[in-house]
Structure 1
Amino acid sequence: MKILITGGAGFIGSAVIRHILSNTQDSVTNVDALTYAGNLESLSNADESERYYFEHVDICNRTELDRVFNTHKPDAVMHLAAESHVDRSITGPAEFIQTNIVGTYTLLEAAREYWNTLSNDAKKSFRFHHISTDEVYGDLPHPDEQEGELTLFTEETSYAPSSPYSASKASSDHLVRAWLRTYGFPTIVTNCSNNYGPYHFPEKLIPLVILNALEGKDLPIYGKGDQIRDWLYVEDHARALYKVVTEGIVGETYNIGGHNEKQNIEVVKSICSILDTLVPKDSLYSEQITFVADRPGHDRRYAIDSSKMQNELGWTPEETFESGLRKTIEWYLVNQLWCENVQNGSYQRERLGEIKHK
């Protein structure tokens, strides 16, 4: 197959590209605008492959997208390009509306026009795979709010986004499904839980805590740290996404979760414990933990039921949270130069997303 991947220089996109180049004979065209979180160093070995092509293109640029489709003639699109950090969306929502909504619309139209030029057989095999988030569903009852068996997000869960980020992703999901319903354009949607692993930009919780801990800085935790997330190792996610684009059914939605519900405070303490073993110092890393004012509109719990992925496509995560977290920490310990380069002076792990009241 020839697969066009948007956002391939980002965290999840680069993991998907590494997976495809290492485990298949497919070719990849990486379309990325290289914004602050996109870095080609995450694909340093890809250039050695004759099956890899890079296009420095913004998905809002229709003219350039048309050129890319006509040049590379993909058999499938995996759409991962997105603004994705909740805190940034609180501070500056406009970029999220532009990239996640307008960009998705522009890409859909460019892909649909290209699709209309294909033969009937090529049309039937073409796939537009839209990669989204569990945050579009809002939040679930917390264990201290619900008795009995806790509920999970399923593919039928109603949307109730809380942040500008999740609202923009929900909007893009609706666009993708509308293009299927109205135009017959062959789309598939996946919604995933919180990813973690190598090459994660340091604004997100796990890499932020690892790097701050190593530098002796505070480890800030929102509120009481009792917010619950389902953690998914990024390489497990990459395997799942490839399963969906190659074996998934047009019109279906697939939820992808890691089966690892953890409170944020648990995650931070686990990182500290592993660092105590790998990089011991005179004091415990957990002594650097501080509690700060909570994020506005902070969802309390996410958790995914990914039984459809297991039952219909035969996918389950391979990493436990413990094994994946240790691999992640070990990667950051030996890739400090990558961390320095991606921050590049524009972001120094300061807090984002605070609302300033006059």
Structure 2
Amino acid sequence: MSNHYMLTGYPGFLSGRLFRGLVQHDPSARFTFLVHPSQMDKARQQIGSQDHVHLLEGDITLEDLGIPEEETNRLREEVTHFLHLAAIYDLAVPKDAAYKVNVKGTDHVNRFVQSLTHLKRYVYFSTAYVSGTRTGKVTEEDLACGQDFKNHYEETKFEAEKLVRDLKGVPTTIIRPGVVVGDSQTGETEKFDGPYFIFRYLDAMNPFPVPYVGKGENPFNIVPVDYIIQSTVYLTHAGKDGTFHLTDPSPYSAREVYEMIAEELLGKKPRYTIPEKIAKAMMSIRMIRRYFGVEKEAISYMSSQSDYDSSWTQSVLREGGIHCPDFKSYLPNLVRYYQEHREDTAKKIPIR
């Protein structure tokens, strides 16, 4: 029997890239994408007519994922790999919306996964930032360590990962990416969020002397999307249960990342420092954060980040010849893509 992969989160950027990676690894496989009704038209446009792909309308916030009973019965007998990517990733997401999708949605997916009779692997996409406000070294087995959280996104992903870890008798791989940016070769990305808020801020500051924001002595863990996809495809088939930090094993500091982006994007170095408290106060004013195009929650990621230990992941990925590229080596590709698409409104995150 050929493998049958079921994915949530399509037609999102990560799930679309992951689909292509899985097809390359397993050309004879079949696929079912659980697609929210609001995304079905986009999904049809992206997938076209591919006989090995089935687009199934559903909703992870509903019991049985909102799937008709006859479809549910068929999938329970056919699905061999379930990859759960659907989530709200917005740093500024309200608590109720984040909880409904990220926590309740994952609970519903977990129950569905437990009913699959031929399941070989359940892959859950968490985030390294379930570490919340922790500082110092965070191992891949660490989860609940009394930490607080910088936003509802982190908190609800933490709660969801706890639910996944509590599953019994399910072969489970938990993926914890760092901050994901575009493709290391092409620079391609779907949205200018995350570290791209630095790009947008520096763009707005270009006519003026550019400041650093805070001390930035902490590690700033950035990874390209192609590393995430290549690693996830490998880990999906490696037969190893556990939690995997898909993070840069040798990250630059936030200050170094900021300076490298400024030099590549603007051709000049920052000349002075704005204390983080002042930057946060400024971005609390809607008019200012909209001018700069920066979510106020993003400022927190310039300081007080954890140091993610990815020793286990690196040892496993080495067996597949996979390594994380150095940020400096692919930054020019990220900047070039950003410059070519900076005015694309579909890639901009609305600032509240």
Q: TM-score, normalised by structure 1?
A: 0.73
> 2:6, 2:31 within 8 Å by CA — same for their partners in 1?
yes
Q: Classify the secondary structure of the residue corresponding to 1:204.
A: coil
How far residue 129 of structure 1 moved from its aligned partner, in angstroms, is 1.2
Decide whether aligned partners of structure 1 residues 220 and 253 sit closer, same or farther in structure 2, where only a CA change above 3 A counts.
same
CA–CA distance in 1 between the matches of 2:64 and 2:305?
41
Decide whether aligned partners of structure 1 residues 78 and 228 sit closer, same or farther in structure 2, where only a CA change above 3 A counts.
same
> 1:136, 1:161 within 8 Å by CA — same for their partners in 2?
no
Is 1:155 paired with 2:140? yes
Q: Determine which of 181, 186, 199 is the counterpart of 1:210.
A: 199
Is 1:243 paired with 2:234? yes
CA–CA distance in 2 between the matches of 1:44 and 1:272?
37
Counterpart in 2 of 1:148? none
Counterpart in 1 of 2:333? 327
1:10-36 C-alpha deviation (Å, 9 max, x unpaired): 343333223223454134333343889
Q: Classify the secondary structure of the residue corresponding to 1:241.
A: helix
Counterpart in 1 of 2:180? 195
What pairs up with 1:220-231 in 2 under 5 angstroms? 223-231=214-222
Give RMSD over aligned pairs: 3.6
Counterpart in 1 of 2:34? 31
CA–CA distance in 2 between the matches of 1:300 and 1:128?
32
Q: Classify the secondary structure of the residue corresponding to 1:130.
A: strand
The unaligned stretches of length 5 or more in structure 2 are 183-187, 282-295
CA–CA distance in 2 between the matches of 1:96 and 1:210?
26
Counterpart in 2 of 1:355? none
Counterpart in 1 of 2:159? 171
What pairs up with 1:59-98 in 2 under 5 angstroms? 59-67=60-68, 69-70=72-73, 73-86=78-91, 88-89=92-93, 92-98=94-100
Decide whether aligned partners of structure 1 residues 266 and 200 sit closer, same or farther in structure 2, where only a CA change above 3 A counts.
farther
Identity over aligned residues, as a percent? 17
Q: Determine which of 255, 266, 285 is the counterpart of 1:265.
A: 255
Q: TM-score, normalised by structure 2?
A: 0.74
How far residue 64 of structure 1 moved from its aligned partner, in angstroms, is 4.7
Aligned pairs, number: 313
Decide whether aligned partners of structure 1 residues 46 and 81 sit closer, same or farther in structure 2, where only a CA change above 3 A counts.
same
Q: Classify the secondary structure of the residue corresponding to 2:34.
A: strand
How far residue 214 of structure 1 moved from its aligned partner, in angstroms, is 5.1
CA–CA distance in 2 between the matches of 1:227 and 1:140?
12
The unaligned stretches of length 5 or more in structure 1 are 142-150, 278-283, 353-358
